Amino acid sequence: MKAETLAQLNAERAARRPALVVTDMASGEQRLVKAKDIAADELSGELDRHLRMGKSGMVEVNGRKLFITVHAPTAKLVMIGAVHISQALAPMARALDYDVTVVDPRTAFASPERFPDIPLIAEWPDVALPQLNVDPYTAFVALTHDPKIDDPALTHALERKCFYIGALGSRKTHAKRIERLKQQGVSEPALARIHAPIGLAIGAVSPAEIAVAIMAEITATLRMPKDAAAAKVKEPA
């Protein structure tokens, strides 16, 4: 790889922005495609598919064999609320290679005994979240049912453009949440990004089942085309 290409790639990786390297297998020529440039690239469909799946691979285009190497940041999962659902969700996300952090100012809930080997921040969201560098490769779930904790956390996640934002609660609860956030100046397009009721509609009842539904929806949002992921049916969680 040329030094200039490597320098550009390292800059994207340092900024936690995905990038892809396209190698012509016949000539050895390489070029870097930044995530922001995928839509305008001649290989946009293949580049988008490989990036969504997080897998490198060979493609053949107009008789040329090309190898697409995916460089994507490790996804994060930030959970607001050290609740029973979080206890089930944390190990699932860790098994899928997410960097997991739990935030809850209630120290009775945010304890190492309840979350062994999971980073905990027993602070209010306005103190805890800035240090986590929440970004577009972060999945963000609000699970406390307490507006004093969930609302500022959701606002932060929307501002940082997390790829997934979900909030626990029924449709009625979410409608009240939407009104509160509107009064705080959050726009309609931003509010529409919140997945609520949270999780895929699988008839989940127990905390573990709800955690499965949430992790499935996060995965669908990350891996599936946006229109397909948006078409998933919702139900109260």
* pLDDT of res. 224: 83
| Other residues' Cβ atoms within 10 Å of the Cβ of residue 235 | 15
Q: Does residue 171 carry a pLDDT above 80?
A: yes
Q: Alpha helix (H) ranges present in 160-237?
A: 171-183, 188-191, 207-223, 226-230
Using the predicted structure, report yes or no on whether residue 231 has a pLDDT greater than 90: no
Q: Residue 209 pLDDT more than 90?
A: yes
Tens digit of each residue's pLDDT (9 = 90 or more) over 51-110: 999 899 999 998 999 999 999 999 999 999 999 999 999 999 999 999 999 999 999 999
With a pLDDT cut of 70, the percent of the chain lying above it is 95
Residue 181 near residue 206 (C-beta atoms within 8 A): no
The pLDDT mean for the chain works out to: 93
Mean pLDDT of 144-151: 96
**Cross-strand pairs, 194:** 165
The secondary structure of 6-59 as a DSSP string is HHHHHHHHHTT--EEEEEETTT--EEEEEGGGGGGSTTHHHHHHHHHHT--EEE
- Pairing between β-strand 19-24 and β-strand 138-142 as defined by DSSP bridges: unpaired
Least confident of 105-119, 195-209, 217-231: 217-231
Q: Which two tokens stand for residue 27?
A: 């000539």
For 7-16, the pLDDT digits (tens) are 999 999 999 9
Domain range list for the chain: 3-71, 76-230
Give every CB contact of residue 55 below 8 A, 6+ residues apart in sequence: 70
CATH number corresponding to 76-230: 3.40.50.720
